[in-house]
Homo-oligomer: A and B are copies of this chain.
Amino acid sequence: MSKPFGLVIHGGAGVILRANLTPEMQAKYNASLTLARDTGYAILENGGTSLDAVVAAIKVLEDDPLFNAGKGAVLNANGMCELDSAIMDGKTLSAGAVAGIKHIKNPITLARDVMEKSPHVFLVGEGAEIFAKQLGYSFVDNTYFQTELRKKQLERAKQLEVEKKTSASASLHEKAGFVTVPDGYFIQTSHYGTVGCVALDKAGNLAAGTSTGGMTNKKYGRVGDSPLIGAGTYASNATCAVSATGWGEYFIRVVLARDIAAQMEYKDTPLTQAAQNSLNKVAQLGGDGGLIAIDHNGNITMPFNSPGMYRGYRLSDGRNGIAIFEQ
């Protein structure tokens, strides 16, 4: 019997309500998820590496304005897109990550270059782009990433912020100018929509990658879980590969991706149960979101505790699917 291979992708979890998602929009999401998934799968099928598959699938989602990564990322408080991404190689435990990227079309490729072409794991802000320049990256204007939908979402978030600041019932956080509640405006909420991919290749190597624009109206140089190795992104051939999406602060506190792998490593917990346990920890703290994971045997899981999560999978045994709503 040949060894199993395959991949899982996500395009974010959050308040995705059937009522707000027209059949046309749903078809667009399905088509884009299918393209990303099958682009990655073709690489695996042809004997390519899980790293190559992860990068290829995520590039499709970064290039598609439907998702909060690359083109179509949410806008920060200054109206700019600031992108974060990470990748991890389960074979070597090598990892690369970038945060606060403003001019690199595909942050996932820069994360991979940090992993492979620098001795560092995590480069932030302008410094990361200086590194990219030295590697010969071409730069795009930040307007390349910005879409009309995201501009409207930012306007709405700023309105909400004012309303909350001046509300009698405003919390200390809200008075300080933080809008932390999902805004629910136009299908996708303000701080979800991250994309990611986890893959197992024919050689038995796992990889995980994540890419995001973070939260609408984010300020103060906020970095979420996506680029943090162990929180939003993790892969080890000994256990599994994980990419998370959701309210990043809670995923950081739970160190979610590594927590799933740790249960497998130290307690022999099966992947699905381990992932659910870790997501339950997020929920207990008050957070929400979801994750995708694949283990070294080709088992997959895609749990979420938000109303929806854009996701897709394709495995060498023929199983495949694209979904947005119910698990």
Residues of A within 8 A of B (CB): 93-95, 99-100, 117-128, 130-131, 134, 172-173, 176, 178, 180, 219-224, 228-231, 234, 248-249, 252-255, 258-259, 262-263, 265-267, 269, 285
Contacts and interface: CB of A to CB of B under 8 A. Distances in A.
Contacts of A118: 173, 176, 178, 220
A230 B278 CA distance: 14
Most buried by B among A100, A219, A221, A252: A221
18 contacts: A93-B285, A100-B221, A120-B178, A120-B220, A120-B222, A120-B249, A121-B249, A121-B252, A122-B223, A124-B124, A130-B219, A131-B219, A229-B231, A258-B259, A262-B262, A262-B263, A262-B265, A263-B266
Contact of A123 (B94, B223, B262): B223
Contacts of A125: 100, 124-125, 221
A259 B180 CA distance: 30
A262 B252 contact: no
Given A123-B221, A131-B220, A259-B258, A253 B229 contact: yes
Contact of A262 (B119, B122, B219, B266): B266
Given A131-B220, A259-B262, A267-B266, A252 B124 contact: no
Nearest to A116: B172
Nearest to A229: B252
Interface of A is mostly: mixed
A46 to B, nearest CB: 28
A202 to B, nearest CB: 24
A255 B234 CA distance: 9
Contact of A222 (B122, B255, B267, B285): B122
Given A127-B222, A229-B231, A263-B266, A252 B122 contact: yes
A230 to B, nearest CB: 4
A176 B134 contact: yes
A121 B176 CA distance: 16
A255 B267 contact: no
A253 B124 contact: no
Contacts of A99: 124
Most buried by B among A121, A262, A263: A121
Nearest to A132: B220
B180 A119 contact: yes
- List of 4 A-B pairs having minimum Cβ-Cβ separation, nearest first: A127-B221, A262-B262, A230-B255, A266-B266
* Candidate in A99, A127, A224, A254 with the most chain B CB atoms within 10 angstroms: A127
Contact of A253 (B93, B126, B219, B249): B93
